[in-house]
Amino acid sequence: MLGNDVSRLRSAIAPNERLLAAWRQAGWPVMHTREGHRADLSDLPLSKKLRGRGKTCIGDTGPLGRILVRGEHGHDIIPELYPRPGEPVIDKPGKGAFFATDLEAILRHRGIRQLVVTGVTTEVCVNTTVREANDRGYECIVLEDCTASYFPEFHRASLAMISAQGGIFGWVSHSSLLLETMPAA
């Protein structure tokens, strides 16, 4: 509805399914994030609403409900990667998972200092989250095959920015390498 070809993002689904299965089998904590706004749009800055202005924008009605509004059918996580009971879902009004959320409190409470970051889009939500995490002292690894973008050149450039200068924001790897090193359940 916002004018992007979401089919390019589907490449990250299968690798994330494999990673989630192994992660869950190992008993490691899984957290999900999704960008969306309150129904009254009180957490949607005018600058954000206007910046994405096209035929439709955030809050307008689409085929799956109001666009990027919490609680609407289209705001939910896709079935292939759906959270299991007990897995926190962090609803975020911004691009980064730390802004105006309780993610940091959850991580600190659980003693988590290292993050494996996956998702879409690489250049926006993933990159912003990794930068926010870095500023808070978290170690991050981004799995290149578990992230995707509408624009392949943005995906490549974003991963290069994260890992530049010896990992200025974090490290980049492939899920197959991580899966090889995970302990058997």
Rounded CA-CA distance 145/173 in Å is: 8
Whether pLDDT at 126 is above 80:
yes
Per-residue pLDDT, 158: 98
The vertex-33 CA angle with 27 and 39, nearest 5°, equals 140
The SS3 call for residue 108 is: helix
Confirm whether 132 is domain-assigned: yes
Decide if 74 is inside a domain: no
Virtual torsion, Cα 37, 90, 92, 156, nearest 10 deg: -130
Cβ–Cβ under 8 Å, residues 158 and 1: no
Mean pLDDT of 59-63: 92
Please report whether residue 17 resides in a domain: yes
> Does any domain span residue 45?
no
The 10s digit of each residue's pLDDT in 137-182 is: 999 999 999 999 999 999 999 999 999 999 999 999 999 999 999 9
Give the domain range for residue 123. 6-35+85-181
Number of domain units in the chain: 1
Is the residue at 120 inside a domain? yes
Check residue 57 and give its pLDDT: 87
Q: What's 158's domain CATH number?
A: 3.40.50.850
For residues 168 and 162, give the distance between their C-alpha atoms in angstroms, rounded to a whole number: 6
Q: Does residue 19 fall inside a structural domain?
A: yes
Across the beta sheet with 114-120, the strand order is 114-120, 139-148, 171-173
Share of the chain above pLDDT 70, in %: 96
